[in-house]
Chain A
Amino acid sequence: MAVKIVTDTLSDITSDLAEELGITVVPLYVRFGETVYKDRVEITSEEFYKRLVSEANLPSTTQPTPNDFLQVYEALARETDEILVIVVSSGLSGTYQSATQAKEMVKGKCRIEIIDSLSVAMGMGLIVIAAVNAVKAGANLDEAADLVRRAIPRTHVAYLFETLKYLAKGGRIGKASGLLGSLLSVKPILTIKDGELAPLTRVRSLNAGLDYLCSYAAGFSNIEGLAVEHATNRDDADQLVERLGAVYPKESIYRSVISPVVGTYSGPTALAITILEGEKK
C-alpha cells in the first residue's frame, strides 16, 4: 500500500493542487473576535485579508486540534498502513504538537511518521510535493521520510512585506522584531531561519524589493522547485514571475496565496518566493 501524505494549510498548497497530488491538508483555525473559521475551508484568503484591514483587532490563528489529525489518520488508516505527516515549523505554530498527540491516540497497526518542516508556505509545500513524487516513484515511508529530512535544509523562503505596520501590531515575533522601529517607511524582507521569521534586509521601493527577490533566487545555482505567493497583490506576483523567468522556467513556477498566519504579520500586500534547492550530486 502506498504511503499517504498529510500536511497542514500553512503549506499554502491550494485545494486544486492537493487534489492533484492526492494528499490531505489539515486546516488551521483563524479567529476574528469570537468567531473561529477553518483556514481556507470556512474563510477564503480574500475574505481574510479584507477583514485584516477593516477590523480593529488582529485575528489570531490556532493549530488544528489533535482530534482533527486523529480523524484524518483514522480515515487514511483504512486505505494504507503508512502515513507521512509534514507540518509547519514548530517555531511558528503548535501544529506539530497536535499531530503528535493524535498519533498516540491512533489504534491499529498504521505507522505514522511526523516531520517538523522547520518551514512554512510553499517552502514546506515544495517539500511535500517532492515527497509525493518520491512515493509515486515507489518510495516507502522510511525512504520518503528520509528524503523529506534531507530536503529541509535545502528550502529557502523570502518574504517582502509592503509595510512594517502589521509586523509591529502583531507583536514581537522572534528575530523579525529587529526590523521594527524604523522612522522611515520601509518594506522589510524576511526569511525563515531555524523555523522562525528572521530579517534579511529592507528596501524602500517595490522595484528594489523585486530586484532583491530576483537576485535571491539567482543566488541558487540548482533550483529543484520554485514558488511565488502573493496576498491581495496578484499583479505584483505576476511581475515577479515574469522576471524570474530568467532564472527558472516560468511555467514550472508554483503560484499560491500567503497564509493567514504569515498574513497577520505581512498585511494585505506581500510577496513570497520559496525555493527548494536541488541536492548536490
Chain B
Amino acid sequence: MSETKTVAGQELRDMFSAAASWLEKSSAEIDALNVFPVPDGDTGTNMMLTMRSTMDEAYRAPDHSAAGIAHAMARGALMGARGNSGVILSQIWRGLAQGLEEKEDFTAADLAAAFQQSAQIAYKGVSNPVEGTMLTVMKDAAAAAQAEVDAGNEDIITVMEATVNAAAESVANTPKLLKVLLDAGVVDAGGQGVYTILEGALRYLRGETELMRLRKPQIIVSDLPHVVSQPQSIAIDEVPYGYCTEFLLKGEKLEPEIIKKRLLKKGESLIVVGDDSAVRIHIHTLTPGNILQFAAKLGTMHQVSIRNMDEQHQDFLEMQKERMPITDTAVIAVVAGDGLSEVFGSLGAAAVVHGGQTMNPSTKDILQVVEATFSDKVIILPNNKNIIATANQVQALTEKKIAVVPSRSIPQGIAALLAFDYEAEFNTNSEIMEKALSSVKTIEITRSIRATKINGLKIKRKQPIGLLDGELIAVGDTNLDVINQLLSRLDLEKSEVVTLYFGEDAVEEENEQINSSIAAQYPHLQVETIRGGQPHYSYIISIE
C-alpha cells in the first residue's frame, strides 16, 4: 500500500468534515452517556453543533493552506462552541491551528506535534482539569501519535491509526479515573466524542467515505464491572448547581488569563478560552448577574445563555426515577465500612446510614436518611441487635410507612436485601425479608479488648475471638484458627456459598490464606472474598 506522507489544507478540511458527519450519527448515543459534570445529557449534541460551526467556518476560509483551514476551524469552533464539551473541543482546534502555523501542508510529525499542542491548550482552558474526561482522551491520543512518529513512522494513516486506538483505550479507561462514570456504568461522553471525531478523520483518510455513509460509529464499552447507580443516592448527594452561564465576549486587547483568574472563585466548571479579540466563557455559578456585569465592562457579549442547572438536574432525576425498577419501596441499611456500603448499594439499597458496633446511629440519623429517600415506603435494616430498637422509633417520627426487618448482623442484612421481591407488596416484602434472616449463619471475628473468661473460654487481651450468630464461642491464636473452630461447629453439607468480608485492617495474604483454607476443607463450597472495610471486625463471614 502506498504511504500518505503529506496532507494539504483542503484535505484537512474534508477529513474533519467527514469526521463531523461521523460524529453527528452518534450524537444521540453520546448524549445518553453524559453524566459529568452535570447529568444533563447533551454532550453529543453540543459537540455536534460545535463541529458544524467549526466546519462552516473552514469552508468559508479564503486561505486554503493547512494553516489557513486550521485557523478557520479554530475560529469557527470558538464562535459556535456549545457547552463544556464544545468549549474544550474548540481548544483542541485552537491547539491544532497553533501546531500547523504557517504550514501549506503537513506531515505525520507535524500532525503529532499539533495534537500535542491541542491537548496542552485544552488542559489550559479548564480551571481545574479532571482526568477521565475528553482532556485525558486527547492527551492519550496525542501521546500515541507522537510515539508512533518517534518510532520513525512517516505514514499519516498509520500514525492516525495509533492515535485512534489510543483514544479508544483511553475512553474505555475513563470509568477507572472518574467515579461518577463508574457509578453510572458509562464511559465519558466528551471522550467518546473526541474518539469519534478522530476515528471519522481516519476513516476518511483510508478512503472509507462510502462505508461511513452506511455505518455508525461505535460507542466504546468499558470492560469494568457495571455498577448501576442508585438514583436515590444521587438525591442525597445533590448539591446546588446554580446556572450554567455561557457567552462569547468580543473586544480589544482581551486577556483570557486575567479574566480566568478573576472568575475562578465565582463558580464551578470554569472555562475561559480565546484570544485578545474574542473570548468564550463558560461557568456554573449561583450569581450569573455578577459574571455578566464584570464581562460587560470588558467588551460586548454575544450568544449569552443562562440555564438553570438545578432544573436540568431535576429533569435528569425524574428521568432516572422512571428508569428505576418498578418498586415503590426503598430499603435503607445501617452499615459501617465503605466496602460494605458499596455491597449494599450494589444490591439495590437506596441509602446507607453509617454506623454499627460501637457507633450506633441515633434515631435522628436514621430518620434523616429515611426522609431523604424518594419513596414513601421504607424498609430499614439495622444490621445490629443494638440498633433494632433505635430503628423501631423512626415510625413515630415520620409520615412515611416504615418497616424494620430486625437484621442482627451484616450477613443477615444482605440476605434480607437479596430476598427483596420486586413484585411483592410492602408488607409481604418485609415478611419475605424477615424470613430470609434465618437463611444465613454469621461469623464475626474480632479481638478481645481485655482478658476475660466467658462461656468457659479463657481469653487473653487482644486475642482473636469468634462469634457465631452473636454468641462468643471461640478463641484462638490466629483468625484462621478461630474461623476453623467455628466452621467445624456448623453443618455445612447443605450450604453453598461462604462470603468473607474483610475489615479495614485486613492483610491480603491472610485473606487469601483463609479463603484457600476454607475452599480446601470444604470443596463443595463457593468461597467469595470481598472488601468490607468495616472497623473492629477483622472478618465478617456469611454462610448460606
Residues of A whose CB lies within 8 Å of any CB of B are: 168, 175, 177-178, 180-186, 191, 193, 198-208
Judging by beta carbons under 8 Å apart, are B494 and A184 in contact?
Answer: no
Question: Which of B225, B326, B414, B421 is A201 in contact with, Cβ under 8 Å?
Answer: B421
B422 to chain A: closest residue by CB: A199
Residue of A nearest to B421 (CB): A201
Cβ-defined contact, A204 with B496, below 8 A = yes
Give Cα A189–Cα B423 distance, bound, in whole angstroms.
11
Q: For residue A201, which residues in chain B have a CB less than 8 angstroms away from its CB?
A: 418-422
Given the known interface contacts A183-B342, A185-B528, the answer about A178 and B423 at a Cβ–Cβ threshold of 8 Å is no
Q: Are the C-beta atoms of A180 and B497 separated by less than 8 Å?
A: no
Interface secondary structure of A, over-half rule:
mixed
Question: In this assembly, does B544 line the interface, its C-beta being within 8 Å of a C-beta of chain A?
Answer: yes
Residues of B participating in the A interface, judged by any CB pair closer than 8 Å? 185, 225-228, 324-326, 342-343, 346-348, 414, 418-423, 439, 494-497, 499, 526, 528, 530, 544
Contact B421 A200 (CB under 8 A): yes
CB <8 Å contact, A181 and B422? no
Q: Are A182 and B324 CB-contacts (below 8 A) given A203-B418, A208-B544?
A: no
Sampled A-B contacts (19; CB under 8 Å): A175-B325, A175-B326, A177-B228, A180-B185, A180-B226, A181-B225, A183-B227, A184-B346, A184-B414, A184-B499, A185-B497, A185-B526, A185-B528, A186-B418, A198-B325, A201-B421, A204-B497, A206-B496, A207-B494
The complex places the Cα of A246 from the Cα of B343 at a distance, in Å, of 37
Q: 9 new A-B pairs (CB below 8 Å) besides A182-B346, A184-B414?
A: A175-B325, A178-B325, A181-B185, A183-B530, A184-B347, A184-B528, A193-B326, A200-B421, A205-B544
Quick one: given A168-B226, A181-B226, are A200 and B346 in contact (CB under 8 Å)? no
CB contacts (< 8 Å) of A186 on chain B: these are 347, 418
Complex contacts, A206 vs chain B, CB 8 Å: 496
Q: Verify B346–A183 contact, CB threshold 8 A.
A: yes
Q: Report the bound CA distance from A239 to B494 in whole Å.
A: 15
Q: Beyond A180-B228, A185-B528, is A199–B347 a contact (Cβ under 8 Å)?
A: no
Q: Contacts A201-B422, A204-B544, A207-B494; is A178 near B324 (CB within 8 Å)? A: yes
Contacts of B347 in A (CB 8 A): 182-184, 186, 202
CA distance A205 to B342 in the complex (A): 21
Q: Which residues of B contact A185 (CB under 8 A)?
A: 497, 526, 528
Q: B423: nearest residue on chain A (CB-CB)?
A: A200
- CB < 8 Å: which of A168, A183, A198, A204 contacts B343? A183
Which residue, of B225, B343, B494, B497, has the highest number of chain A Cβ atoms within 10 A? B497
Q: Are A205 and B228 in contact (CB under 8 A)?
A: no
Q: Is the interface of B mostly helix, strand, loop or mixed?
A: loop
Closest to B418 in A: A202
B496's partner among A177, A182, A193, A207 (CB-CB below 8 A) is A207
Given contacts A175-B325, A205-B497, contact A181 B418 (CB under 8 A): no
Q: Determine the distance from Cα of A191 to Cα of B325 in the docked complex, in whole angstroms.
A: 13
The reply to whether B418 and A204 form a contact with Cβ atoms under 8 Å apart is yes
Chain A neighbourhood of B497, CB < 8 A: 185, 204-205
Q: How far is the CB of B389 from chain A (nearest CB, A)?
A: 28
With CB as the reference atom, state the residue of chain B lying closest to A176: B325
CB neighbours (8 Å) of B418 from chain A are 184, 186, 201-204
Whether A208 touches B528, Cβ cut-off 8 Å, given contacts A178-B228, A181-B185, A184-B347, is no
CB distance from A269 to the nearest CB of B (A): 13
Q: Which residues does chain B contribute within 8 Å of A193, judged by CB atoms? A: 326, 423
- A199-B325, A201-B418 are contacts. A181–B494 as well, Cβ < 8 Å? no
- A184-B528, A198-B326 are known contacts. Are A178 and B422 too (CB-CB below 8 A)? yes
Contacts of A178 in B (CB 8 A): 228, 324-325, 348, 422
Output the residue of B225, B343, B414, B494 with the most chain A CB within 10 A: B225
How long is the Cα–Cα vector from A203 to B415 in the complex, in angstroms?
8
Give complex CA distance A225, B524 in Å: 36
- With a cutoff of 8 Å between Cβ atoms, the chain B residues found around residue A182 in the complex are 346-347
Picked from B226, B414, B496, the residue with its CB within 8 Å of the CB of A205 is B496
Residues of B within 8 A of A168 (CB): 225-226
Measured CB to CB, the closest approach of chain B to A141, in angstroms, equals 34
Q: How far is the CA of A269 from the CA of B245 in the complex (A)?
A: 53
- Closest-CB distance, A239 to chain B (whole angstroms): 14
Q: Which 5 A/B pairs are nearest by Cβ-Cβ distance?
A: A178-B325, A205-B496, A181-B228, A183-B346, A181-B227
A184 to B418, CA, bound (A): 10
Most buried by B among A193, A198, A204, A205: A204
Bound form: Cα–Cα A185–B497 in Å: 10
CB nearest to B343 among chain A residues? A183
Return the contact of A200 from the options B225, B228, B348, B422 (Cβ within 8 A). B422
CB distance from A64 to the nearest CB of B (A): 24
Give Cα A198 to B325, complex, Å. 8
* Residue with the greatest number of chain A CB neighbours at <10 A, chosen from B346, B414, B494, B526: B346
Chain B residues, Cβ within 8 Å of A200 = 421-423
* Chain B residues, Cβ within 8 Å of A199: 325, 422
Smallest beta-carbon distance A273→chain B, Å: 15
